[in-house]
């Protein structure tokens, strides 16, 4: 049992740690997310836990013959993931050091996640059940990447550690093997299972919307995908994703209100892509001596 002096000292240490751990994990971007976060759990610890969970998930999926690493669906999802990854330095410079990975799991589950460090998981059930377009896949994936960029899982772990007060600090000061195992098992609970706050969900919606728009995906798909989610809300197999991502009218209204901020980014990306395609066609035509053929814009990616 801690005596009064030890208690005061511990409380002082907690207060200092909390102040030192206040920061914002991302740059504002065009959408202007600037909220200060409590991040007292070391990022390296969270990343290690997330990587372990991601590896275990993939091993189980591989053993069950459900981990897709090739084929049309994998190629499609990987292409979208790559396009979004190119845009993440807008919010974080350190993402150049992330070891991005994609796990596409063939299961009738409506779920997707992105663990710290760029470990993306997508389920075929989400694509097939909702008949997602490329734009809609990009909106969901951008949203999940945004959670990783904002380190919402680490933030929740930090909040739990801070509110745990003396018990949490005592555990840190006197760790045991049993405690370490318990902490590891709780990591995925804070990273993926617990529902995000409305504030965190709005941040992920906002940043994800900008990522997708900058990558040339139509931001209007953000509303259509959540409308599809809402329509599927009561179906079997939907509970996991919808329990942490409520698809309600407030969310759709918020995404609609964000459109003026991101539509110009989408239009600029589409224009740049069209210009690049035309330049490539002209160069190819010049080399072959034939007239340049008309080119199609990035909007082609909206197909299913």
List pLDDT tens digits, range 98-146.
Answer: 999 999 999 999 999 999 999 999 999 999 999 999 999 999 999 999 9
Task: Say yes or no to pLDDT of 204 above 70.
Answer: yes
Which residues in 52-79 are b (16+ Cβ under 10 Å) and which e?
ebbeebbeebeeeebbbeeeeebebbbe
User: How far from chain centre, in Å, is Cα 9?
Assistant: 38
Spatial distance between the Cα atoms of 107 and 24, rounded to a whole number of angstroms:
36
Is the Cα torsion angle 85, 90, 93, 94 positive or negative in sign? negative
Share of the chain above pLDDT 90, in %: 48
Q: What is the mean pLDDT of residues 71-97?
A: 96
Looking at residue 32, what is its pLDDT? Answer: 83
41 in Cβ contact with 187 (< 8 Å):
no
277 in Cβ contact with 296 (< 8 Å):
yes
Looking at residue 180, what is its pLDDT? Answer: 45
Interacting residues of 45 by C-beta distance below 8 A, sequence separation 6+ = none
What is the crossing angle of helices 249-288 and 198-214, to 10°? Answer: 20
Reduced to 3 states (helix: H, G, I; strand: E, B; else coil), residue 268 is helix
Q: What is the mean pLDDT of residues 212-237?
A: 85
Phi and psi at 282, nearest 5°, equal -65, -40
Which has more pLDDT, 26 or 24?
26
Spatial distance between the Cα atoms of 85 and 145, rounded to a whole number of angstroms:
9
Q: What is the mean pLDDT of residues 197-219?
A: 93
Q: pLDDT-derived band of residue 303, with 50, 70 and 90 as boundaries? A: very low
Q: pLDDT-derived band of residue 251, with 50, 70 and 90 as boundaries? A: confident
| Residue in the block written with tokens 């209100």 | 257
In the Cβ-directed half-sphere of 32, how many Cα atoms lie within 13 Å? 2
**Which residues are catalytic, by number?**
144
Residue 33 has which token pair? 């997310």
33 in Cβ contact with 26 (< 8 Å):
yes
Q: What is the mean pLDDT of residues 194-203?
A: 75
Q: What is the mean pLDDT of residues 66-85?
A: 98
For the chain, what is the mean pLDDT?
78
Task: Say yes or no to pLDDT of 201 above 70.
Answer: yes
């Amino acid at each position: 049992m801690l005596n009064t002096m030890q208690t005061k000292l511990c409380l002082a240490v907690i207060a200092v740690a909390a102040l030192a751990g206040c920061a914002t994990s991302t740059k504002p971007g065009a959408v202007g997310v600037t909220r200060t976060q409590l991040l007292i759990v070391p990022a390296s610890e969270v990343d290690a836990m997330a990587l372990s969970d991601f590896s275990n998930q993939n091993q189980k999926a591989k053993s069950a013959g459900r981990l897709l690493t090739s084929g049309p669906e994998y190629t499609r999802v990987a292409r979208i993931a790559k396009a979004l990854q190119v845009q993440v330095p807008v919010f974080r410079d350190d993402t150049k050091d992330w070891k991005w990975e994609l796990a596409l799991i063939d299961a009738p589950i409506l779920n997707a996640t992105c663990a710290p460090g760029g470990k993306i998981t997508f389920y075929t059930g989400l694509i097939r059940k909702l008949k997602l377009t490329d734009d809609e896949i990009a909106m969901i994936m951008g949203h999940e990447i945004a959670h990783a960029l904002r380190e919402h899982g680490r933030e929740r772990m930090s909040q739990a550690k801070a509110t745990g007060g003396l018990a949490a600090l005592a555990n840190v000061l006197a760790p045991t093997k049993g405690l370490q195992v318990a902490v590891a098992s709780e990591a995925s609970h804070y990273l993926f299972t617990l529902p995000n706050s409305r504030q965190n969900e709005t941040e992920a919606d906002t940043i994800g919307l900008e990522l997708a728009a900058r990558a040339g995906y139509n931001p209007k798909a953000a509303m259509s995908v959540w409308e599809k989610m809402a329509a599927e809300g009561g179906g079997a197999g939907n509970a996991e994703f919808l329990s942490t991502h409520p698809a309600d009218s407030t969310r759709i209204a918020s995404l609609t209100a964000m459109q003026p901020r991101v539509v110009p980014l989408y239009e600029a990306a589409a224009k740049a892509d069209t210009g690049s395609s035309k330049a490539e066609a002209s160069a190819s035509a010049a080399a072959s001596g034939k007239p340049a053929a008309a080119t199609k814009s990035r909007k082609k990616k909206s197909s299913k």
